[in-house]
Amino acid sequence: MTANSRADGGPRSRVVRGPRGPFRWTAYVLAVSSFSAAIPTPLYPLYAAEFHFSASVLGLVFASYTPGVLLTILLVAPQADRIGRKNLLAAGMGFAILGAAVFAFAPGIVWLALARFLAGVAVGATTSVATAAMSDLEPYHDPHHVARVAVAANFGGFAIGAVVSGLLVAYGPWTTHLVYVLTVAAALLGLLALRSIPETAPDLGGRARHWIQRISVPTEVRRPFWVAAGGVAACYSIYGLFAALVPSYVRTGLQISNPAVAGAIVALMFGMAAVTQLATAQLRDRRALLAGFPALLVALVGLVVVLTQRSWVDLAGVAAVLGVAVGLTFMGSATLVDRVAPSADRDEILAGYYSAGYLSVAIPTIGVGVLSGVVGLADAGIGLGSVLAGMAALLYWEIYRTPTPPGGGGRVRIVRPTDPAPPGP
């Protein structure tokens, strides 16, 4: 199959590599890693009550996810092209199963932290590797479609995990055990799906170029890179804040003990982010950030106000708006860094980009735990939400001052036969 147009309006040919099945199954494997990380979210307040630990300890347990992700991204993921992407994706599913088993039978705090660490390893082994495989398996080799589906799979997987877990914990038997059967079943299906996916590693069996992933950003693209890195850091900070704050706040601040409510509110934010990814296909890089950062600012101000009102309806409304804002901002930052990254420096730039995001998860989760012991949970959320709102305002000012980058050697937009014709120069 060929196409008759390209990004500059001239003819270009395009070869379709195959059916969409392998691409979609790879996206499914990516979603499973987020799904497994979300399953314990409504359970953390129950663990705190069962094991008698404070909010600050809960924050540390939640943040133990970050080193698992970063260690895998920096040490293991760089070997994917040598040892095989399918092998690493299978390892990611295995770590998801192992983490679920440790969660299900954890006898204390240390075991919860270990389970959370293993969930991070599963995500780290899956995220960049699955995205790279999807880039090769996408029939039209469209990097923007790959980025949109990958981010939607991440957010959508988390949303489904949070809401299903909340419902099972609230209304099912074996409160802290049954939910993890879902992770095992989903991961086993992912392992079966991998058998139908072709290996896309370009250097299978070769020598590794780097044992540790280097992080390097060329001088000419540093300004847009830092804007993109700030965008993903803001999104992951909100992810950490929301997932760590809401379940405990719903239980203690709103006096709603039903875990299904907490799971649904968390899922609403992540679900709206996923839907936004899929619904804004033509809004990307700088334009998406110009819309996303003001929306983040408004939503975070709304979160700060709602935390003083103690209304679950208002909290759900803010969660929906915050999800749209995160979806726009994440999509804008991901497509911006994709656009400006020269092919020769792509791995080093993306390593820095994702490291900025995952490091940002730990800061608000630890912050919520530490501050809540001093000023209370709601006031801790208000303080951290205010800081993030200030960050969104500064990032908006910076992207407003940053001109649209010329591309920096990045990837060209692939135009599909069903896409509208691209505008002229």
Q: Has residue 4 been placed in a domain?
A: no
The C-alpha atoms of residue 393 and residue 383 are separated, in whole angstroms, by 16
pLDDT digits (tens, 9 = 90+) for 174-188: 888 999 999 999 999
**41: nearest Cα among 92, 143, 116:** 116
Write down the pLDDT at residue 315. Answer: 93
Does residue 306 contact residue 258 with C-beta atoms inside 8 Å? no
C-alpha distances in Å from residue 400, one per residue of 274, 295, 324, 335: 25, 14, 20, 17
Residue found under tokens 């934010």: 269
Residue with tokens 């940002």: 360
pLDDT at 207: 64
Q: In this structure, is residue 247 part of a structural domain? A: yes
Between CA 186 and CA 93 the distance in angstroms is 9
* pLDDT confidence band for 6 (50 / 70 / 90): very low
Compute the average pLDDT of residues 396-421: 60
Give the tens place of pLDDT for each residue, 48-62. 888 888 777 888 888
116-123: average pLDDT: 94
Tokens of 109: 């705090």
Q: What is the pLDDT, as a whole number, of residue 206?
A: 60
pLDDT at 139 over 90: no
Q: What is the largest CA-CA distance in the chain?
A: 66
122: domain CATH number is 1.20.1250.20
Q: Domain containing 298: what range?
A: 21-199+218-401
Residue 6 or residue 312, greater confidence: 312
What is the C-alpha separation between 234 and 146, in angstroms, rounded?
A: 22
Burial 392-406 (b: 16+ CB within 10 A, else e): bbebbebbeeeeebe
Closest CA to 89 of 192, 165, 164: 192
Do the beta carbons of residue 238 and residue 362 sit within 8 Å?
Answer: no
Q: Residue type for 258, please?
A: N
Whether residue 226 has pLDDT greater than 80: yes
Is the separation of the CB atoms in 252 and 314 below 8 Å?
no
What is the distance between the alpha carbons of residues 176 and 165, in angstroms, rounded to a whole number?
Answer: 10
205 found inside a domain: no
Q: How far apart are CA 260 and CA 265, in angstroms?
A: 9
Spatial separation of the C-alpha atoms in residues 97 and 103, rounded to whole Å: 10
Long-range contacts of 278-282 (CB under 8 A, 24+ apart): 278/148, 278/149, 278/152, 280/327, 280/328, 280/331, 281/144, 281/145, 281/148
Please report the pLDDT score of residue 104 as a whole number. Answer: 94
In a domain, 264, yes or no: yes
Q: Find, among 227, 221, 347, the residue nearest to 287 by Cα.
A: 227
Inform me whether the pLDDT recorded for 31 exceeds 80: yes
Identify whether 424 is part of a domain: no
The rounded Cα 165 to chain-centroid distance in angstroms is 18
pLDDT at 264: 94
Instruction: Tell me what percent of the residues of the chain surpass a pLDDT of 70.
Output: 88
Higher pLDDT, 5 or 280: 280
The reported pLDDT for the residue numbered 30 is: 94
Q: In the predicted model, is pLDDT for residue 12 greater than 50? A: no
Higher per-residue confidence, 321 vs 415: 321
Contact (CB, 8 A) for 237 and 389: no
Three-state SS string across 256-277, please?
CCCHHHHHHHHHHHHHHHHHHH
Q: Which two tokens stand for residue 420?
A: 């509208």
- Compute the mean pLDDT over every residue in the chain, rounded to the nearest whole number: 84
Under a CB-based contact definition with an 8 Å cutoff, are residues 360 and 240 in contact? yes
Interval 63-96: pLDDT, tens: 899 899 988 888 887 777 778 889 999 999 999 9
Q: How confident is the model at residue 425 (pLDDT cuts 50, 70, 90)?
A: very low
| The residue to which tokens 């995990």 are assigned | 161
Q: What is the pLDDT of residue 393?
A: 92
pLDDT tens-digit readout, 332-384: 888 888 788 887 777 788 888 888 988 888 888 888 888 887 888 888 889 99
- pTM attached to this predicted model: 0.83
> Bigger pLDDT: 328 or 369?
328
Structure confidence by residue, pLDDT tens digits, 121-135:
999 889 878 888 888
State what percent of residues in the chain have pLDDT above 90. 38
User: Is 292 a member of any domain?
Assistant: yes
Closest by CA position to 415, among listed 20, 146, 144, 149: 144
Residue 402 vs residues 46, 176, 357, 374, 413: alpha-carbon distances, Å? 46, 49, 21, 40, 21
Q: Which two tokens stand for residue 151?
A: 């981010």
Give residue 78's identity as a one-letter amino acid code: P
Label residue 69 exposed, middle or buried (CB < 10 Å: 0-12, 13-18, 19+).
Answer: buried
The helix/strand/coil state of 173 is: coil
pLDDT band at 205 (very low <50, low <70, confident <90, very high): low
Structural domain count of the chain:
1
For the segment 236-258, the average pLDDT, to the nearest whole number, is: 88
User: Does residue 308 form part of some domain?
Assistant: yes
- How much is the average pLDDT of 238-245? 86
**pLDDT of res. 286:** 83
Q: Quick check: 418 pLDDT over 50? A: no
Q: How far is CA 180 from CA 39, 101, 103, in A?
A: 7, 7, 8
Residue 406 lies in a domain: no
Lowest mean pLDDT among 30-34, 38-42, 414-418: 414-418
The pLDDT of residue 417 is above 50: no
SS3 content of the chain, % helix, strand, coil (to 5): 75, 0, 25
Contact (CB, 8 A) for 63 and 374: no
Range from 182-186, 247-251, 405-409 that averages highest in pLDDT? 182-186
Residue 8: predicted pLDDT: 41
